Amino acid sequence: MIHSIDVEITTPLYPTEVRDRVEAAIHELFPGAEIEERAGELVAETHSVERFAKRLDEQNIGPTAREVFLEGREGDAFSFDLKKAAAFEGVVNFAVGNPDELGDLHVRVRVEDRDVGTFIDYLAPGDAGGRPDGG
């Protein structure tokens, strides 16, 4: 199933951080993202969540992800935060509570062609059986 989505990832970039490492953290989960620096933060944009979805499956955290996505739902979009250090290792680790001292990756997914709930169902099904189309 193909979806038309806009994904924006933002994260603070502190002077103590190496920009290449922060970019690598983004690319581990969103490899096609185009990244630019704006006023002390990195802003990345992509239209694919394939690698991110694959990691959710591999880590078997679909139900947790679904809960996080539904909590962050607003209109035709949903938002969530990810730990930078985990993302650098290619691991999805949702950030809840206080942000990490270096900030988290803030991800906002806007769904253009379908109901956002339908896309969340696709990305993180409520059961452990995985996505109906296998990917």
Give tens-digit pLDDT for 6-44: 999 999 999 899 999 999 999 999 999 999 999 899 999
Query: DSSP strand E in the chain: where?
Result: 5-12, 34-38, 41-46, 73-74, 77-82, 105-111
The answer as to whether 132 is a domain residue is no
The answer as to whether 95 is a domain residue is yes
Whether 116 and 66 have beta carbons less than 8 Å apart is answered as no
Domain residues for 43? 5-123
Domain count, the chain: 1
The answer as to whether 25 is a domain residue is yes
The answer as to whether 135 is a domain residue is no
Look up residue 105 and give its amino acid. L
The answer as to whether 134 is a domain residue is no
DSSP-assigned beta bridge partners for residue 106? 10, 81
Reported confidence tier of residue 2, pLDDT bands at 50, 70, 90: low
Strands of the sheet with 41-46, listed across from one edge: 34-38, 41-46, 5-12, 105-111, 77-82, 73-74
The answer as to whether 85 is a domain residue is yes
Give tens-digit pLDDT for 37-71: 998 999 999 999 999 999 999 999 999 999 999 99
Which pLDDT score is estimated for 71? 96
